[in-house]
Amino acid sequence: MKKIIAFFKLIRITNLAVMALTMVLIRYCVIKPFMSFSDLSLQLSRKDFVFLMLATLFIAAAGYIINDYYDMKSDKVNRPEKMIIGNVFSLNWAIYFNFILNGIGILFGLWLAMDIGDWNYSFIFIFTSGLLWFYSSSYKAIPLLGNLIISILVALVPLLVITFEMILFSQNFKTELAAGDINYLPVIYFVLGFGIFAFWINFIREIVKDIEDIPGDRVAGKKTFPVAAGEKTAKILALIMSVIMIAGFGFVYWVYLKNLMTLVYFGLFLTIPLLFLGYKLWVSAEKKDFHFVQTGLRVLMMTGLLYAMVICVQINS
Q: Show pLDDT as tens, one digit a residue, over the chain (317 residues).
A: 788 999 999 999 999 999 999 999 999 999 998 888 777 889 999 999 999 999 999 999 999 999 999 988 888 888 888 899 988 999 999 999 999 999 999 999 999 999 998 889 999 999 999 999 999 988 888 889 999 999 999 999 999 999 999 888 888 877 776 666 677 778 889 999 999 999 999 999 999 999 999 999 898 888 899 999 999 999 999 999 999 999 999 999 998 888 899 999 999 999 999 999 999 999 998 989 999 999 999 999 999 999 999 888 877 76
User: How many folded domains does the chain comprise?
Assistant: 1
Domain assignment of residue 196, given as a range: 2-316
What pLDDT was estimated at residue 28? Answer: 95
Output the pTM of the full model: 0.94
How far, in Å, CA of 105 to CA of 121, rounded? 13
Q: Which residues contact 154 (CB under 8 A, 6 or more apart)?
A: 198, 199, 202
What pLDDT was estimated at residue 3? Answer: 87
How far, in Å, CA of 277 to CA of 242, rounded? 9
Work out the angle at residue 159's Cα, subtended by the Cα atoms of residues 156 and 161, and round it to the nearest 5 degrees: 115
Work out the angle at residue 1's Cα, subtended by the Cα atoms of residues 83 and 52, and round it to the nearest 5 degrees: 75
For the chain, the residue count is 317
Three-state secondary structure string covering the chain? CHHHHHHHHHCCHHHHHHHHHHHHHHHHHHHHHHHHHCCCCCCCCHHHHHHHHHHHHHHHHHHHHHHHHHCHHHHHHHCHHHCCECCCECHHHHHHHHHHHHHHHHHHHHHHHHHCCCHHHHHHHHHHHHHHHHHHHCHHHCCCHHHHHHHHHHHHHHHHHHHHHHHHHHHHCHHHHHHCCCCCHHHHHHHHHHHHHHHHHHHHHHHHHHHHCHHHHHHHCCCCHHHHHCHHHHHHHHHHHHHHHHHHHHHHHHHCCCCHHHHHHHHHHHHHHHHHHHHHHHHCCCHHHHHHHHHHHHHHHHHHHCHHHHHHHHHHC
- Alpha-carbon separation of residue 297 from 98, 107, 197 (angstroms): 27, 33, 12
Amino acid at 159: L
How far, in Å, CA of 47 to CA of 114, rounded? 13
